[in-house]
């Protein structure tokens, strides 16, 4: 299978001016400036195949958005190669620009004082979308997102969730083959986040669109992506299956217990590390490989009303991995 996205030894460096404080520093800077090189992206390589949804994750300043901007042609790379659909993004060929879309949760493309449908018509003309395809796409997407009744309302009168849904329609009007999603659910409440995730999942299944998703909400990544690329300080530290990294680095599972009557903490601590405790409920962390045995013992010896065995939160695993100095 030929990859849709190919990145090889990609670098994007910036020169940052360092100025000493005060008037003296300003005068010195006029005659002799000092610069520091910022390696936003530093020799990263990966490929992504057709229809894949890949989570591109990392802490703030890791290089995620910079990479997406290079792949979408907004930034020129310092060195290395990047190809999407066989095109070199920074050449900004119209043929390529009509086949991808970049959705940034913190940027708006809809006209604030106009109804969303007016922005759709503008995008239709920009991307030269035929009338029949335009009507079909707007109808399908507005049904999927449940926004048919708000398309003629001024954008500034819409809620954040409604605006985000309309932003997605605007970004998908030309049926892009590649979709770059940069924090698409940022600022949304948990209910709206779930609806947006369900939409992306359904859209990917229907159209086999290749997707790169960056998000600080690990639920976005966990529910949508089987594969993750983890970047830290401009370098890729992991590229592989999400479940594998959970199994490898989540050494414990959590047994959550609800009791029929009060139980002392010392009686619970015999079975594992007590993470949370109240007389009528508690959570213990136990090694993954002994979890079934410990759960069985607890059920036999303590007055348990209900039990739940859970994986650790993905955020906790990722936080540990971000702190590692070497490639995973």
Is the C-alpha dihedral spanning 163, 167, 169, 173 positive or negative? positive
Residue 18 lies in a domain: no
Check whether 273 has a pLDDT greater than 70: yes
Q: Which two tokens stand for residue 271?
A: 């079975």
Which tens digits make up the pLDDT trace of 279-302? 899 999 998 889 999 999 999 999
Asked if 235 and 264 sit in the same domain, the reply is no
- How many structural domains comprise the chain? 2
Asked if 175 and 215 sit in the same domain, the reply is yes
2, 51 in Cβ contact below 8 A?
no
Q: Which two tokens stand for residue 147?
A: 């926004």
**pLDDT the model gives residue 130:** 94
Asked if 61 and 126 sit in the same domain, the reply is yes
Check whether 315 has a pLDDT greater than 70: no
CATH (domain of 101): 3.40.50.300
**pLDDT the model gives residue 54:** 95
**End-of-domain residue from the set 194, 220, 246:** 246
Q: Report the distance separating Cα 95 and Cα 287, nearest Å.
A: 53
By residue range, what is the domain housing residue 280?
A: 252-310
Check whether 325 has a pLDDT greater than 90: no
CATH (domain of 269): 3.30.70
**End-of-domain residue from the set 213, 246, 279:** 246
Model's pTM, two decimal places?
0.77
**pLDDT the model gives residue 312:** 75
**pLDDT the model gives residue 117:** 93
220, 197 in Cβ contact below 8 A?
yes
Neighbouring C-beta atoms of residue 127, cutoff 10 Å: 17
Average pLDDT over residues 116-137: 93
């Amino acid at each position: 299978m030929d990859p849709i996205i190919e990145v090889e030894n990609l670098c994007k460096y910036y020169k940052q001016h360092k100025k000493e404080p005060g008037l003296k520093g300003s005068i010195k800077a006029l005659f002799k400036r000092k610069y520091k090189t910022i390696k936003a992206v530093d020799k990263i390589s990966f490929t992504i195949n057709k229809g894949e949804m890949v989570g591109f994750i990392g802490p703030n300043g890791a290089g995620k958005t910079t990479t997406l901007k290079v792949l979408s042609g907004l930034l020129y790379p310092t060195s290395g190669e990047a190809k999407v659909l066989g095109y070199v993004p920074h050449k900004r060929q119209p043929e390529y620009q009509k086949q991808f879309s970049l959705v940034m949760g913190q940027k708006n493309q809809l006209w604030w004082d106009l109804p969303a449908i007016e922005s759709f018509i503008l995008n239709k003309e920009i991307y030269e979308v035929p009338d029949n395809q335009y009507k079909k796409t707007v109808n399908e997407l507005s049904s999927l997102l449940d926004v048919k009744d708000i398309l003629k309302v001024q954008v500034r009168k819409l809620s954040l969730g409604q605006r985000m849904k309309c932003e997605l329609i605007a970004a998908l009007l030309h049926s892009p083959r590649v979709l770059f999603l940069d924090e698409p659910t940022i600022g949304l409440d948990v209910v709206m986040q779930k609806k947006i995730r369900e939409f992306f999942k359904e859209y990917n299944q229907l159209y086999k669109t290749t997707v790169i998703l960056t998000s600080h909400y690990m639920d976005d990544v966990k529910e949508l992506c089987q594969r993750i690329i983890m970047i830290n300080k401009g370098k890729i530290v992991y590229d592989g299956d999400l479940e594998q990294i959970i199994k490898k680095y989540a050494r414990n599972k959590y047994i959550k217990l609800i009791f029929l009557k009060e139980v002392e903490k010392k009686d619970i601590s015999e079975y594992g590390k007590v993470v949370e405790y109240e007389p009528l409920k508690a959570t213990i962390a136990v090694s993954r490989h002994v979890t079934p045995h410990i759960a069985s013992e607890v059920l036999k010896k303590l007055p348990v009303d209900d039990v739940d065995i859970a994986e650790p939160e993905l955020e906790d695993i990722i936080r540990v991995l971000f702190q590692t100095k070497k490639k995973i």
